[in-house]
Chains A and B, each alone.
Chain A
Amino acid sequence: MDAKTPLFPSAFDVKSPAGAEDWRSLYPYYTQFQPSRRAEDDQKFWFCNSQHWPNPLRPFDVIFLDFAIKCLGQYNSRHLMVPPANGIDYRILNGFVYFSPVAVAPENIEARIPQFLDRAGHYFMNWNDLLANWKVKVKGMIDAMNAISFAPLPDVVPVEWVKDGVGLDNTNALFEAYEKLIELSYKTWQYHFEFLNLGYAAYLDFFGFVKSQFPTIPDQAIAKMVQGVDSELFRPDDEIKKLSRLAVELGVDGALMSGTADQALAAVAALPNGDKWLAAWKAAQDPWFNFTSGNGFYSTDKYWIDHLDIPMGYLRDYIPRVKAGERIERPTEKLLAERDRITAEYREMMDEEAQAVFDGKLGLSRTVFPYVEDHNFYIEHWALGVFWRKMRELSRMLSQAGFWPDDDGMFYLNRNEVRDVLWDYAAAWAIGTPNVGSAIWPAEVERRRKLLDALASEAPVPALNNPPEVITEPFTIMLWGITSEAIDRWTGSSDESGGLKGMAAAPGTVEGIARVLRSPDQLAELQKGEILVTPVTAPSWAPVFGKIAAAVTDIGGMMSHAAIVCREYGLPAVTGTGNASSKIKTGQRVRVDGNTGTVTILD
């Protein structure tokens, strides 16, 4: 152990919140800081990834933590042989997720370079063809998941099966459906990272080059040169805007403005032009309402298509603005012109030789970057949306079989425990007895629910042990905004004048009233012109970005969702402040300076 005191506590010294002492029983052994590995784990720097996992995980939800991190790692370490970086190690502590990038030993880096050149080179050379094929593969996963269903076991095996001599019963299909759904989501996660690491690597190369030319250039300016304007991630919001305009044109807007989504849709159906609008509404849903208000990693995620009240709420925000003559559509030509202006002006300041290099690196970045944005729609929103819908179907079915009182009880079990439950269900069905789980799980689910509530009552420590001298792992910097400066902020070395420091993620300065949101369920509270302050945002919050004056997040880097969307909407943003959402209170006046990355509380 180091002689000096670590900046952050050891995982083994972090206390659990009151009532959550038993939290370890929720998670698999391999996700935990094990006393037997203490020496190794205490030597590493771990940061809390509250960007992707802002809330304590329900046991079932460990599935996508497992899949995401394993699949991220495999591309670095086994497919592409990224020279300096293996995967990212992970642990769960008090229900929150901690990451630690795994470097390649310096003496082994050199040997990986030829392999990387060959493998990554092939992807860069054939990017568009491979990506077209990727979309086909992912669509195949989605279709296959959609085809899965979970029906209760029948009272008797179909008579045809008996007469055809099938010799099997309905439990096989049930077991297979469960395994199939998990397998499809696992493959989907591998596809998720097939291009992503390369996309970031190419972007980082461009980023590093521009920084070498202009050491003081804001990160956001580099992002602006590369960022697309027609990402599929913006389509759901665009569709809502189109539907708002159409509603006004067809004169059905009034009927949409009140009641539940179902009531409003019924009211529209009764109008002369109603069917026309409803057809457009229906058409937009596939695939664009496969859009979550979270990030797709949680069983609690609410997808628009399952909760039509969410898109209906956004529609109701847009309709009055359309009627007031406002242009709500994104000014894509203007954004493109701005992107070209910025690119040309920086390019002009370089010498000729640098310009040629710049053109090459920019070209590659622009080729690969759409994936970085678009994949999010295909995987997290679309594919994972189908996964969760199917798993909810299963949870409901098992709830009806008596395993737990609430529809979502299954998510308090881990994925292996669910296998036991399916067996219990099948065996009891065959034997003709009540299942055992109905007497066990309701109390256990309740115990776990309480544990999770207790875990959620305390914010996680931002990091563990000692940070390295400099943080160099590229994905850690780009995605999570974990820089040496960020660590300084966490240790509280920068907070004297009521100012909070974060990343200057989108330019501009604005003053306004803060609205602190802890969950997407509170989105409706946002008033026009307020400054959104939140631990983390998700892409599906896009409609609120037309309403707010600026965004401030606790976590996230230049490429975090809030940063991307704010640049797109021309709003100032400061990301990765560490603790803005707990320091700032709703109703306070704050100044957000997206140029310097400062947030000042003015009251």
Chain B
Amino acid sequence: MTKSLYTLDFSEISHADFARVGGKCASLGEMTQAGVAVPPGFAVTTDAYQAMLDHHGLRDEIERHMSAVDPFDLDSVDRAAQAIRIRIRSHHLPAAVEEAIRQSYAEMGDSMPVAVRSSATAEDLPDASFAGQQDTYLWIRGADQVVEKVRDCWASLYTTRAVAYREKNRISHADVLMSVGVQKMVNARAAGVAMTLDPVNGDRTKIVIDASWGLGEMVVSGVVTPDNFTVEKVLEEITARKISDKHVELVGVPESGEALEREVEEARRTIQCLSDAEVVAVARLAKRLEKQNKCPQDVEWAIDADLPDGENLLALQSRPETIWSQKKKDAPKTTYATGVMGIVGTLNAALPVKR
């Protein structure tokens, strides 16, 4: 009972739970239930976070710290934020919450390495990708560590930047809730992003894929120039490719429990990091997610080195594409010639001879 209140397996997240698990976990839940291969895991719900606040009287404490803050004095914001983070970290989780997390984690397997990341609810920072980078913990192992990182994620609601943002926008701190996703760590041989349209010109017949060695963070953050593939969406054929020099990769080191940024050895740097078949598989995955979500998508994916061929492509996240989808709506209406008159028009016009 408490388990389903405080934690929800990705496969159990229903539409009604979206507010309780935040955007990232909701999307993972949706994909899992649609049969898309997603690394398994669970969401620690906002109820768990609220139980934490209530159990230790943290709401009042936050209120007290914040009342003394001058929102235009960054030092005072920083001091309050730091104090709140320390307060959150200094408390044990309520027994029922901790038990639910431990149980859900145990169900994933023995000492399964996981990624722990915040899953923001709607009121959070709009610049979610920035926030997301702050509170992602990779390669976490063991229930004690998981519990601690869940608490760290909660505490990350009170980074100086987040607090300042809410102060400036008059968002009540106590109203902002957080869910945390605990997801099996992908041992990414290669990873990246796929857009179901060409970001350069909005061409919806193309899927454009960026891919590099190791975890996808290097691609998202722009640290490496990834391999770039264009796939014709309907024919599912690669129509263009640009192979780049991928000099660094982010890989998990299970022993130390952390993700390590390292140089890619010379021989691997300039070779294509995905086979052609894998490129097409990534494109198909993106296409499927676009179909499911009924609008162009921006998909994060990874190829897991530990899984067998054919089962090793995993979706990590899928978000709606916003820029071109908006432009399309604003485009003026066109009129078309039909019937034999259309044929006359075609015959009279210079044909597009471009291949």
Contact = CB atoms under 8 A, between A and B. Distances in A.
A357 B65 CA distance: 64
A2 B206 CA distance: 43
Contacts of B234: 221, 341-342, 345-346
Given A84-B347, A216-B205, A346-B205, 7 more contacts: A205-B345, A209-B346, A221-B234, A483-B355, A485-B353, A509-B237, A595-B238
A434 B239 CA distance: 70
A485 B355 contact: yes
A354 B276 CA distance: 33
B16 to A, nearest CB: 30
Interface string A549-566: 000000000000000000
Given A503-B355, A504-B355, A361 B239 contact: no
Nearest to B204: A349
B333 interface: yes
B206 A477 contact: no
Nearest to B353: A483
Interface in A204-250: 204-205, 207-209, 211-212, 214-221
A218 B353 contact: no
Interface stretch (B80-88, B130-138, B165-173, B334-342): B334-342
Contact of A116 (B235, B238, B336, B344): B344
A82 interface: yes
Nearest to A110: B348
Given A205-B343, A361-B342, A596 B239 contact: yes
Given A209-B336, A214-B203, A214-B205, A202 B348 contact: no
- Chain B interface residue number, banded: 20 to 34
- Chain A interface residue number, banded: 35 or more
B344 A83 contact: yes
B340 A472 contact: no
Given A208-B352, A216-B205, A503-B355, A83 B347 contact: yes
Interface string A497-531: 00000011001110000000000000000000000
A130 interface: no
B92 to A, nearest CB: 53
Contacts of B349: 208, 472
B340 A218 contact: no
Interface stretch (A86-94, A117-125, A284-292, A393-401): A117-125
B132 to A, nearest CB: 30
A410 B322 CA distance: 73
Contacts of B206: 216
Interface in B288-337: 333-334, 336
A361 B338 contact: yes
Interface of B: 203-206, 232-235, 237-240, 276, 333-334, 336, 338-355
A503 B336 CA distance: 28
B185 to A, nearest CB: 34
A507 B191 CA distance: 26
A116 B346 contact: no
A327 B196 CA distance: 36
B232 to A, nearest CB: 6
A108 to B, nearest CB: 12
Interface in A314-369: 341-342, 345-346, 349, 353-354, 357, 360-361
A218 B232 contact: yes
A156 interface: no
25 contacts: A85-B347, A117-B340, A117-B341, A201-B343, A201-B346, A204-B343, A204-B346, A207-B351, A208-B352, A214-B205, A221-B234, A342-B235, A346-B205, A349-B204, A349-B205, A357-B342, A361-B342, A470-B353, A471-B353, A472-B349, A472-B353, A474-B346, A474-B347, A474-B351, A485-B353
Contacts of A273: none
Interface in A163-211: 201-202, 204-205, 207-209, 211
A399 B307 CA distance: 75
A474 B349 CA distance: 10
A345 B233 contact: yes
